[in-house]
A and B are shown apart, each in its own frame.
Chain A
Amino acid sequence: MSLLDWLIFTLYFAGVIFLGLSQRRKSTAMAGYFMANRTLPWAAIGLSVMATQASAITFIGTTGQAYDDGMEFIQVYLPQPLVMVVLCGLFVPFFYRARVYTAYEYLERRFDAKTRSLTSFLFLLSRGMAAGIVLYAPAVVLSVILGWDETVTIVVMGVVTLLYTVVGGISAVIWTDVVQMLMMFGGIAVALLVLFGELPSAVTVSDVVYIGGIHEMWKSIDLSWDPRNTYTLWSGLIGGFFLALAYFGCDQSQVQRYLTARSLKQSRLSLIFNAFLKVPMQFFILAIGVLLFVFYHFERPPLIFNSAEVTAVQNSPLRGEFEQLEVQFDRLHAVRKEATLKLLEARHSGGGVAYWHERIRSSDERLAELREQSKELVLQARGAASNDVNYVFPSYLVQYVPAGILGLIIAVIFAAAMSSLDSELTALSSATVVDFYRRYWARSASEKHYLKVSRLATLFWGLFAVAVALYAGQLGSLIEAVNRVGSYFYGSLLGVFLLAFLVRRATGTGAFLGLLVGMASVFAVSRTTDISWLYYNLVGAVVVVVAGSLVGRKKEENGAGW
């Protein structure tokens, strides 16, 4: 990176720290620290909700996925506006009027302590690990691409986030999220403009759409019905609906945001704001990936984008085979580039395009084969599968983006990671203090005491996240296991909340048993069927509502109903 890049990067960190620390005086008690005394405006909360969901992987992983598979991932996001309506009409009024600190606290009001404790504990388990991954994933990519030390990257990102979150609480988190989200919007626009600017001057926007269209890269809607396929309209609308409802309605890292609003109206407006902006934002992020795909028709892409994987193969006995693939890749890319330019010429002059289409198609097939063969070599050399998808966009940034812009976009990637991490830290801290410490150990301590414990809890979770990130490489299977528990848990948790809101006769025992049965059902479905993971939340939610209702009915019949 150039001096200008470093200057922009440093300015970002200095600005975020200053803004975060300036919120310190608003956190004089636990209500200020975790709920900003319910004083925040809807626009700030809305941007924070978006920033919390958009992690660094949204930028580097989603663009890479679009480079490989096109726009079809957008279908998972399509039900989100509808989810926001359900949240505004059903979830938010219950949470807001109950004046709870955590979503799980509400479950004790409605059911019992054991249901609250189990759900909060499962949240802490899955989100605690996830906070580490939020740090680890971008740090690995940036260390490979920029040559930065992975440990230093994790520690700098973690410590800066921790500093303003511990001191400023939720106010600091939300106001820094606002800046970070605005930076992300700016970063997306700049990335798209730079990519267009890097294309040959004769290539128009219409040509870009055309080249992407040859490869079906703009396909955003797939109407086929196949529950095994994640990326169809129906999987997106049905599975994505329950996934988003579980995340925005039951995950404390999101619920905490809209509980900080000045009023119920402001709380709802923050979600409606998301309803209108989320899908377009995701569309433009995916479009960056497709534009990269088009761009690499004119510039020679790396055979493997992850330079660490390339080094591993080159230092292995497979070096010769890899070099042969590189030579063939080089030659085929030249063929495809020429065919693409000729195709555009023919298109503009009204000449025949079929021949050039065919040349491009056959080159593409062969190029894809070569990429698969090279990934096979990576697998043999490293003993681990290639995860090249996360390196496509960062690799482009370093090679092609001008000074100043690079610093800005790297700062945006950091902003995306930090805006997710800070929200998770305050959510983990609030669940720890409110659902466990205040509930079981210190029920009537002073506000000053709770504030001190809240800061210590945030500090603990921040250090925990940094530790998980530093050892994530060695914790591979453990993290995977925790993620799996998380995926079994979310839909079932949603079921518990639906039971609470919609089934009047539901009891605490029904909810608790329903949660366990729901998780077991999702586990069984994941092991015995090959339906897309997107449907797991639907399965969990339905099983919990049915099982919980049946137990409630049984109790009523036995005269023990509420």
Chain B
Amino acid sequence: MGRPVEESGLTVQDETPAEEGGERIGVFPGWGWLYAAVVVYTVLLILSLYLFTLLADHRLQ
């Protein structure tokens, strides 16, 4: 549970990171796997666009 923090005249709840550990995200075993999937997706996007750039270049050489 969170603990109250008094700072700068504002009362706030400072939550502990209870949701962090070992959480399954859909088909992914954890956040790290999902983030890795996003990175792989980005690399594949760039490669696909590069391939598309090459294949769709119909200027006369």
| A contact residues vs B (CB 8 Å cutoff) | 74, 78-79, 81-82, 84-85, 88-89, 93, 96-100, 105, 108-109, 113, 209-210, 212-216, 218-221, 223, 233, 263-265, 268-269, 272, 275-276, 279, 353-354, 357-358, 439, 443
Interface residue range, chain B: 20 to 34
Task: Tell whether A100 pairs with B56 under 8 Å between CB atoms, given A81-B41, A93-B17.
Answer: no
Contact assessment for B50 and A221 in the assembled complex, using a CB-CB cutoff below 8 Å: yes
A263 to B49, CA, bound (A): 35
Task: Tell whether A214 pairs with B59 under 8 Å between CB atoms, given A85-B39, A89-B35, A108-B8.
Answer: yes
A81 to B44, CA, bound (A): 12
A78 to B44, CA, bound (A): 11
Task: Tell whether A84 pairs with B13 under 8 Å between CB atoms, given A220-B52, A220-B53, A233-B46.
Answer: no
Contact assessment for A265 and B46 in the assembled complex, using a CB-CB cutoff below 8 Å: no
A213 to B53, CA, bound (A): 9
A212 to B53, CA, bound (A): 11
Report chain A residues within 8 Å CB of B23: 265
A541 to B33, CA, bound (A): 29
A108 to B10, CA, bound (A): 10
A188 to B48, CA, bound (A): 21
Contact assessment for B14 and A78 in the assembled complex, using a CB-CB cutoff below 8 Å: no
Report chain B residues within 8 Å CB of A216: 57, 59
- B9 at interface by CB-CB < 8 Å: yes
CB A86 to nearest CB in B, in angstroms, measures: 9
Q: Which of B1-33 contact A (CB under 8 A)?
A: 5, 7-10, 12-17, 19, 23, 25, 31
CB B60 to nearest CB in A, in angstroms, measures: 5
Q: Is the interface of A mostly helix, strand, loop or mixed?
A: helix
Contact assessment for A81 and B38 in the assembled complex, using a CB-CB cutoff below 8 Å: yes
Contact assessment for A213 and B45 in the assembled complex, using a CB-CB cutoff below 8 Å: no
Contact assessment for A218 and B12 in the assembled complex, using a CB-CB cutoff below 8 Å: no
A63 to B13, CA, bound (A): 46
Contact assessment for A268 and B57 in the assembled complex, using a CB-CB cutoff below 8 Å: no
B7 — nearest CB in chain A belongs to which residue?
A: A109
Contact assessment for B39 and A264 in the assembled complex, using a CB-CB cutoff below 8 Å: no
Contact assessment for B14 and A265 in the assembled complex, using a CB-CB cutoff below 8 Å: no
Report chain A residues within 8 Å CB of B42: 78-79, 81-82
Report chain A residues within 8 Å CB of B12: 98-100, 109
Contact assessment for B45 and A279 in the assembled complex, using a CB-CB cutoff below 8 Å: yes
Contact assessment for B53 and A276 in the assembled complex, using a CB-CB cutoff below 8 Å: no
Taking a contact as CB atoms closer than 8 A, the residue among A212, A213, A220, A268 that contacts B31 in the complex is A268
CB A243 to nearest CB in B, in angstroms, measures: 16
Task: Tell whether A82 pairs with B39 under 8 Å between CB atoms, given A109-B8, A216-B57.
Answer: yes
Contact assessment for B52 and A275 in the assembled complex, using a CB-CB cutoff below 8 Å: no
B41 — nearest CB in chain A belongs to which residue?
A: A81
Taking a contact as CB atoms closer than 8 A, the residue among A81, A212, A269 that contacts B45 in the complex is A81
Contact assessment for B57 and A218 in the assembled complex, using a CB-CB cutoff below 8 Å: yes
Report chain A residues within 8 Å CB of B39: 81-82, 85
Report chain A residues within 8 Å CB of B59: 213-216, 357
A353 to B60, CA, bound (A): 9
Contact assessment for A213 and B41 in the assembled complex, using a CB-CB cutoff below 8 Å: no
Q: A97-B17, A108-B8 are in contact. List 9 more A-B contacts (CB 8 A).
A: A78-B45, A81-B39, A82-B38, A85-B35, A96-B15, A97-B15, A213-B58, A215-B59, A353-B60
Supply 30 A–B pairs (Cβ within 8 Å), ascending by A: A78-B46, A78-B49, A79-B42, A81-B38, A82-B38, A85-B35, A89-B31, A97-B14, A98-B12, A99-B12, A99-B15, A100-B12, A108-B7, A109-B10, A109-B12, A212-B56, A213-B58, A214-B59, A219-B53, A219-B57, A220-B49, A220-B50, A220-B52, A263-B19, A264-B19, A265-B19, A265-B23, A275-B38, A276-B41, A357-B60
Q: Which of B8, B16, B58 has the most CB of A within 10 A?
A: B58
CB B47 to nearest CB in A, in angstroms, measures: 9
A57 to B23, CA, bound (A): 40
Report chain B residues within 8 Å CB of A269: 25
In order of increasing CB-CB distance, the 9 nearest A-B pairs are A213-B58, A218-B56, A220-B49, A97-B15, A221-B50, A213-B56, A81-B42, A85-B35, A108-B8
